[in-house]
A and B are shown apart, each in its own frame.
Chain A
Amino acid sequence: MNDVAKASFIERAATATPAPVARVIKGLSDRAIAWLFISPTIILLLAINIFPLIWTIQLSFTNYRANRPNAEVKNIGIDHFQSILTDPDVWAAMQATAHFVFWTILIQTVLGFALAYLVDRRFRGHGFWTTVILIPMMLSPAVVGNFWAFLYQPQIGLFNYVISFFTGLDPSSFEMIGSVKLAPWAIVLVDTWMWTPYVMLICLAGLRSIPEYIYEAAEVDRASKWRQFWTITLPMALPFIMLAVLFRGIENFKMFDLVNLLTNGGPGSTTEVASITLKREAFEKWRTGYSSAFAIILFVTVFGLANIYVKALNKVKSR
């Protein structure tokens, strides 16, 4: 469309606009027009994020059950919050979550950083290997969960055969997802396999952001490689590492899919992390009010911890 045609289109549109409407538009400030443009997004956000949150808060103070549409909904104050915070089973689920979050973050950070450090050396074919390393995180968690459930199968699973090859143990003599001792580690292992590449990617970005001239200056000062690592590489990559820890921490605190597919919280309640408990309360027992209260407690916990952590991250960054 040429300028003349455009102008004529705008002109035609302007002429077609009724005078009262045109007066209103003309009278709008830039700020008002900006609001006009972002209001659809805000309305959408309110509808799909804020409204459910407020509704959840409201439900958490009631005895509402989604499977009892005809039952009277009573306000029961903070009863749900009290019973959740004093329930030993809930604390056991929180412990299982903490165990999972702690070990996955620790292992993934160490391995992810090590891999990033290795890939950053820019050896021959490093691009290809970087892509290979990234494959697990590209897969769907549902696929990964089912895939590892087969690998862990004690009679036909490849995992047991590999372990048996190296240790001489009978492959069917141990069960990764059926044993109380091994099941939590089985999940940690799968999550590590899947998400270490993600940590590596963030760490790699950190390592590549360190200017080369700093290392050159260190070389001039005859600083050893070890010293360079502790005084340049690690401190300068630390904000990125901390960011990866934050992302993985938040993700793993609400981990559901892998646990659900691998162990479904079992054996017994050994791997029943908070999200599995929440799902059981909400969609198997249909305690909607109770599960709303539980969801809020989890939200506040993650939000609170993440805020404290972000403050620490900002401190590190400003150093």
Chain B
Amino acid sequence: MLKLKQVAVGAAALGLASLAATPAFAQNKQITLCWAAWDPANALVELSKDFTAKSGIQMKFEFVPWPNFADRMLNELNSKGKLCDLLIGDSQWIGGSAENGHYVKLNDFFDKNGIKMTDFAPATVYAYSTWPKGSPNYWALPAMGDANGWVYRKDWFAKPELKAEFKKKYSRDLAPPKTWTELKQVAEFFQGREIDGKKVYGAAIFTERGSEGITMGVTGALYAWGFQYDDPKKPYHMEGFVNSKDAVAALEFYKSLYKCCTPPGYTNAYMQEGLDAFKSGQAAMMMNWFAFFPGLYKDEKVGGEHIGFFVNPGQKVEASTLGGQGISVVSYSANKDAALQYIKWFAQPDVQKKWWSLGGYSCHKAVLGDPNFPKTAPFAADFLKAMNGVKDFWQEPAYAQLLQAMQKRVHDYVVADKGTAKEALDLLVKDWEKVFKEEGKL
């Protein structure tokens, strides 16, 4: 009799255990993924349905519009909030989040689950995962590769009368610019011109003051002039680098582009304002993140054959401003295991391939290294090119202070006409030196 009882109890336990392993049981579990509210986030919602189907873990999403994303999420982390189990945080947050214990260190988890960082593009691992920079300490899995690129009105560039006029004026074809000088010429050419009965403007560029906009735009020019944040031989020594002759020339150039060729009222414009200007047929060219290009290409009015894409033009060197993010597990989460399960699932090559097909920018070599990748989308080749020359802003724990200082100095000069480019960059060096002194790094 006792034996029979033991068998019955054992069978019941086995039944319960097997039930627990099924998706039906896991359905009670839910994790929240926090990110910015933009096109790729919608693609991730779609992709994550596969995760729920496989694991039974429900996904909840908390998407915050870009202008408030940093404020909202950093507040959440600083207050040790439990809102997010997973966070696709900006690359610049990694230093602070690692040092302040906001993110779970993923090295052991990666080792245990056979996730290799060598499977991801090196630039993305460096930028989105490591702290201290370049060290094998991983705080995120590269999730969304991104860089600043350009989109242009291919249909306008193809108009025979405009082509002829441009060629006569500049002795070259009206084509996507290869340098910033060429870009300005094209922008000037279109500025104020009437096309299809509508007044159009040269270029929609970033000028936003509040969060990071103008810095992301200006660095696109600075990097092309060979900008360095500090002396490569002497870290944090910025004098003569941040305010070098080339940096001054690049900043002056960006201002001249803003003055000559942007739509009216373009004093505080970032991603959304650029998209609005471009989609409403006002701008011949638009600076924006690659993340928006799949959506733009699908746009009924200005997408498809109407538009083309090009990588950030070079000047002295070829380089692009880095965007994109890694996915991290928040230390304060009560569902760390489920969150890690999501990362394990997300790291799989098949999932990464689907991620790209839905409009997300995978950083996995299985996607980027595919010989057919450049042909998979009209912007794919430019994305690859851009990612090979990306440069990011400081990723220091004090990044917010460093960023705000640059926003102020650059906006003061470019938009508010305060002082000269040299003065703006000299002041920026002083601001940054002050921050690094407070940090004990100078």
Interface contact A285-B408, CB-CB below 8 Å: no
With A67-B74, A264-B209, A266-B416 as contacts: A172 and B265 at CB distance below 8 Å: yes
Q: How far is the CA of A94 from the CA of B413 in the complex (A)?
A: 20
Within 8 A of B (CB), among A60-84: 63, 66-70
Interface contact B412-A269, CB-CB below 8 Å: yes
Interface contact B268-A286, CB-CB below 8 Å: no
Interface contact B78-A67, CB-CB below 8 Å: yes
Interface contact A265-B209, CB-CB below 8 Å: yes
Q: How far is the CB of B408 from chain A (nearest CB, A)?
A: 6
Within 8 A of B (CB), among A164-190: 172-173, 175, 177-180
Q: Is A221 an interface residue (CB 8 A)?
A: no
CB within 8 A of B418: which of A173, A175, A178, A268?
A268
Q: How far is the CA of A178 from the CA of B99 in the complex (A)?
A: 39
Interface contact A177-B267, CB-CB below 8 Å: yes
Q: How far is the CB of A172 from chain B (nearest CB, A)?
A: 4
Q: Mark B58-94, 1 if CB is under 8 A from A, else 0.
A: 0000000000000100110110100000000000000
Interface contact A175-B267, CB-CB below 8 Å: yes
Nearest chain B residue, comparing its CB with the CB of A173: B264
Nearest chain A residue, comparing its CB with the CB of B67: A264
Q: How far is the CA of A175 from the CA of B265 in the complex (A)?
A: 6
Name the A residues within 8 Å of B80 (CB-CB): 69
Interface contact A180-B96, CB-CB below 8 Å: no
Name the B residues within 8 Å of A284 (CB-CB): 71, 400, 404
Q: Is A283 an interface residue (CB 8 A)?
A: yes
CB within 8 A of B415: which of A63, A154, A266?
A266
Within 8 A of B (CB), among A263-304: 263-270, 280, 283-287
Interface contact B411-A268, CB-CB below 8 Å: yes
Q: How far is the CA of A67 from the CA of B77 in the complex (A)?
A: 8
Q: Which has the most chain A C-beta neighbours within 10 Å: B96, B412, B417?
A: B412
Interface contact A264-B210, CB-CB below 8 Å: yes
Nearest chain B residue, comparing its CB with the CB of A177: B267
Interface residues in A, total, Cβ within 8 A: 31
CB within 8 A of B100: which of A67, A155, A172, A175?
A67
Nearest chain B residue, comparing its CB with the CB of A174: B264
Q: Is B101 an interface residue (CB 8 A)?
A: yes
CB within 8 A of B78: which of A63, A66, A263?
A66
Q: How far is the CA of A286 from the CA of B99 in the complex (A)?
A: 15
Q: Is B263 an interface residue (CB 8 A)?
A: yes
Q: How far is the CB of A171 from chain B (nearest CB, A)?
A: 9
Interface contact B416-A286, CB-CB below 8 Å: no
Q: Mark B260-298, 1 if CB is under 8 A from A, else 0.
A: 000111111000000000000000000000000000000
Name the A residues within 8 Å of B416 (CB-CB): 180, 266-270
Q: Is A104 an interface residue (CB 8 A)?
A: no
With A264-B209, A264-B210, A267-B209 as contacts: A68 and B400 at CB distance below 8 Å: no
Nearest chain B residue, comparing its CB with the CB of A66: B78
Q: How far is the CA of A154 from the CA of B100 in the complex (A)?
A: 44
Q: Is B256 an interface residue (CB 8 A)?
A: no
Q: How far is the CA of A179 from the CA of B408 in the complex (A)?
A: 16
Interface contact A285-B400, CB-CB below 8 Å: yes
Interface contact A285-B401, CB-CB below 8 Å: yes
Nearest chain A residue, comparing its CB with the CB of B96: A67
Name the B residues within 8 Å of A285 (CB-CB): 400-401, 404
Q: How far is the CA of A173 from the CA of B264 in the complex (A)?
A: 8
Interface contact A69-B100, CB-CB below 8 Å: yes
CB within 8 A of A178: which of B265, B400, B401?
B265
Name the B residues within 8 Å of A67 (CB-CB): 74, 77-78, 96, 100, 400
What is A's interface to B at a CB cutoff of 8 Å? 63, 66-70, 89, 153-155, 172-173, 175, 177-180, 263-270, 280, 283-287
Other A-B contacts than A154-B264, A175-B264, A285-B400, 12 sampled, CB-CB below 8 A, are: A67-B100, A69-B101, A70-B99, A70-B100, A154-B265, A177-B268, A178-B267, A264-B268, A266-B411, A267-B267, A270-B416, A287-B401
Cross-chain pairs A/B with CB under 8 angstroms, 21 sampled: A67-B78, A68-B397, A69-B78, A70-B99, A89-B408, A155-B264, A172-B265, A177-B268, A178-B415, A180-B416, A180-B417, A263-B268, A266-B267, A266-B411, A267-B267, A268-B408, A268-B412, A284-B400, A285-B404, A286-B74, A287-B401
Shortest beta-carbon contacts, A-B, top 7: A268-B416, A178-B267, A268-B412, A154-B265, A172-B264, A266-B209, A267-B416
